[in-house]
Amino acid sequence: MEDFSVLIGGKAGDGINRAGFVIGRILSRIGYRIYMYYDYPSLIRGGHNFTIVRASRHAGIASHHVSVDCILALDHATLLRHAGRRTPATITIVNSDSVKAENHAGGLAVPLDTITKEEGGIPIMANSCLIGAFCHATGIPWDVVGTVLDEEMPQETEKNIAIARRGFDAVPEQFILPKGEAPEVPLVTGNEAIGLGLLQAGLDAYVSYPMTPSSGILHYLAEVAGETSLKVIHPESEIAVMLMAQGFAFAGSRTAVGTSGGGFCLMTEGVSMAGMTEVPVTIVVSMRPGPSTGVPTYTAQGDLAFILSAGQGEFPRFVIAPADPAQAFEWSGRALNLSWKYQVPSFILVDKTLSEGTFSFDPEEPEWTGEEPIPRWDGTHPYHRYAEGEGGVSPFCPVPTTGVVVKVNSYAHDEDGITTEDPDRVVRLVEKRMKKSRGMQAEIDALDPVLVSGDPTAATAILCWGTTSGICREVGDIIGLRVVQPVVLSPFPAVALRDALAGVSRIISVEDNAGGQLASLAAAHGITISAQILRYDGRPHALEELRDRVMGVKA
């Protein structure tokens, strides 16, 4: 079996995401690579939550299938909503305490609530019972199940294992899921990969106001802060986040912030101030459907045009859009380093699918960037904060430094940081700031900013960015197409993109937005798009869905 998919569904508050993660760990333990998609409404209780865990013998999976091999139903709604995912071979395991017998004919019935209560557990522990039942039904040995539960259930461990064992014993084996050959690697979310990437590049402070789907970065970094010298701050608003981050950076601390569309709207004046003050800050923006609150727990790629031009006035910036945890780890570190090297804002642009999706992550795959040195003041007095430096970058001196006054100004200013409206000085300031663009472009061009996968000789190419790139790679391999992903979107790698598309006669762009924002950006650099595949319902494509849509337009 090359692929195996399991869906677990229930109400918000039932621990669906956690149960899916544990199942992913178990499948990873027996030799599979994992991708997990988590779907939930913006409700604390109620509604319908579900997780699809896909296990594959192949590395690099980043999408789910339409049909699944096993459905684990904590309630009747799960059976109703996902009836279309069933095949004649699909195994169904249901909670017979909440699903009537006539509604699960042919399924395996387990009294999850009754077993949990008999073992002295609380309602959410019914998930452990369901996990146990799933594992026995698919022939996964109990020693694997018990070991993973022992690792993943730090509280009430023995009780959870006892409940899982009751579930394991309550169902007959349906078939044996063969072991895979992949060595076990960690399972991480995209948010965790971003946090790890920032840390390995020397992150000193992370400032954030929680906003779905970026909140996981804040939670993760807060959890590990005690193991490092990292400062993690939750201020009262997004405006405070951006200003506090610049205060940290002014004092020499490498700082990042995280938010989503509505929160970033409040940050834009502060972003513009960072452009004028030349104070480096790295901003993670995890996209969800807008405008306004939109569909806050779902996914989109609708903020690219906004990020490229956010903030009044003109100032250079880096915009990086990773596709998967390996890229998120590597390029988050690069974004932090580049921001400090050029004293400009840098953006890590992701979406809900990457931020909250769970993936197998091999730490050996990405490049570890580490903390790179920056241009620093040589001690020659007096210190001029905005002195003309190589490529427009002034030597940096943090506060406090003995005997030095560091003047940073959001007004137009001279090299000492003193406000000015003199036209000649304003021109020099603008030209100094914009001079950085040339060095930034050269730096990006040297970093392989455009990735090619699939068939590199194919005459038809899929052009994609961000999270859609993962599923496009899979589709490209299936159909035999070239897949081209610009990882960096500002400065735009036009030369590298044209090289990657050399020999292509037809370009199909794939994006999760209604306007084709990457297609428009490519067109502005003379690259003509032949066809567009757009999705904007807040959901990512399943593998078969995108394959069929690409087949429909590739001719």
Q: Given this model, what pLDDT does residue 43 score? A: 84
Q: What is the pLDDT of residues 142-182, one digit of tens each?
A: 999 999 999 999 889 999 999 999 999 999 999 999 999 99
With both helix axes pointing from N to C terminus, report the angle between 126-137 and 142-152 in degrees, rounded to the nearest 10. Answer: 150
Report the alpha-carbon distance of residue 182 to residue 176 in Å, rounded: 18
Q: What's the Cα-to-Cα distance from 504 to each of 91, 388, 476, 527, rounded to whole Å?
A: 44, 44, 14, 11
Say yes or no to pLDDT of 255 above 90.
Answer: yes
Grade residue 498 by pLDDT with cuts at 50, 70 and 90: very high
Q: 187-360 and 450-553: same fold?
A: yes
- In total, the chain counts a number of residues equal to 555
Q: What is the pLDDT of residues 429-472, one digit of tens each?
A: 999 999 999 999 999 999 999 999 999 999 999 999 999 999 99
Do the Cβ atoms of 356 and 189 come closer than 8 Å? yes
CATH superfamily for 187-360 is Thiamin diphosphate (ThDP)-binding fold, Pyr/PP domains (3.40.50.970)
Q: Given this model, what pLDDT does residue 12 score? A: 87
Q: What is the mean pLDDT of residues 245-273?
A: 97
Pick the CATH number of 450-553 from 3.40.50.2300, 3.30.565.10, 3.40.50.920, 3.30.2130.10: 3.40.50.920
Q: Given this model, what pLDDT does residue 518 score? A: 98
Do the Cβ atoms of 511 and 469 come closer than 8 Å? no
Report the alpha-carbon distance of residue 475 to residue 481 in Å, rounded: 8
CA 416 vs. chain centroid, Å, equals 40
Q: Which of 511, 515, 510 is nearest to 551 (CA)?
A: 510
Q: What is the mean pLDDT of residues 418-422?
A: 96
Report the alpha-carbon distance of residue 493 to residue 497 in Å, rounded: 6
Do the Cβ atoms of 137 and 70 come closer than 8 Å? yes
Do the Cβ atoms of 98 and 33 come closer than 8 Å? no
Say yes or no to pLDDT of 102 above 80.
Answer: no
Say yes or no to pLDDT of 107 above 90.
Answer: no
According to DSSP, the β-strands at 70-73 and 91-95 are parallel
Do the Cβ atoms of 349 and 489 come closer than 8 Å? yes
DSSP annotation string for 327-362: HHHHHHHHHHHHHHHHTSEEEEEEEHHHHH-EEE--
CATH superfamily for 3-170 is Pyruvate-ferredoxin oxidoreductase, PFOR, domain III (3.40.920.10)
Mean of the per-residue pLDDT values for the chain? 96
Which sequence spans correspond to the domains of the chain? 3-170, 187-360, 390-445, 450-553
Say yes or no to pLDDT of 554 above 90.
Answer: no
Q: Given this model, what pLDDT does residue 155 score? A: 87
Do the Cβ atoms of 473 and 547 come closer than 8 Å? no
Residues contacting 241, CB < 8 A, separation 6+: 207, 208, 209, 235, 257, 259, 263, 267
Grade residue 381 by pLDDT with cuts at 50, 70 and 90: confident
Say yes or no to pLDDT of 514 above 80.
Answer: yes
Grade residue 1 by pLDDT with cuts at 50, 70 and 90: confident
- Tokens encoding 15: 């621990």
Q: What's the Cα-to-Cα distance from 17 to each of 13, 204, 260, 472, 477, rounded to whole Å?
A: 10, 30, 21, 25, 30
Residue indicated by tokens 């730490």: 363
Q: In the chain, what percentage of residues exceed pLDDT 90?
A: 94
Per the model's pLDDT, the better-predicted residue between 388 and 357 turns out to be: 357
Adjacent-strand bridge partners of 541:
none
Grade residue 13 by pLDDT with cuts at 50, 70 and 90: confident
Report the alpha-carbon distance of residue 415 to residue 386 in Å, rounded: 4
Grade residue 220 by pLDDT with cuts at 50, 70 and 90: very high
Q: Given this model, what pLDDT does residue 501 score? A: 98
Report the alpha-carbon distance of residue 61 to residue 45 in Å, rounded: 31
Q: What is the pLDDT of residues 182-215, one digit of tens each?
A: 999 999 999 999 999 999 999 999 999 999 999 9
Report the alpha-carbon distance of residue 260 to residue 405 in Å, rounded: 36
Say yes or no to pLDDT of 104 above 80.
Answer: no
Say yes or no to pLDDT of 529 above 80.
Answer: yes
Do the Cβ atoms of 123 and 159 come closer than 8 Å? no
With both helix axes pointing from N to C terminus, report the angle between 16-29 and 126-137 in degrees, rounded to the nearest 10. Answer: 30
Q: Given this model, what pLDDT does residue 45 score? A: 80
Report the alpha-carbon distance of residue 391 to residue 217 in Å, rounded: 33
Say yes or no to pLDDT of 113 above 80.
Answer: yes
Q: Given this model, what pLDDT does residue 78 score? A: 95
Q: What is the pLDDT of residues 25-57, one digit of tens each?
A: 999 999 999 999 999 999 878 889 999 999 999
Q: What's the Cα-to-Cα distance from 242 to each of 67, 265, 273, 332, 345, rounded to whole Å?
A: 44, 11, 10, 18, 11
Instruction: Specify the 3-state DSSP secondary structure of 11.
Output: strand
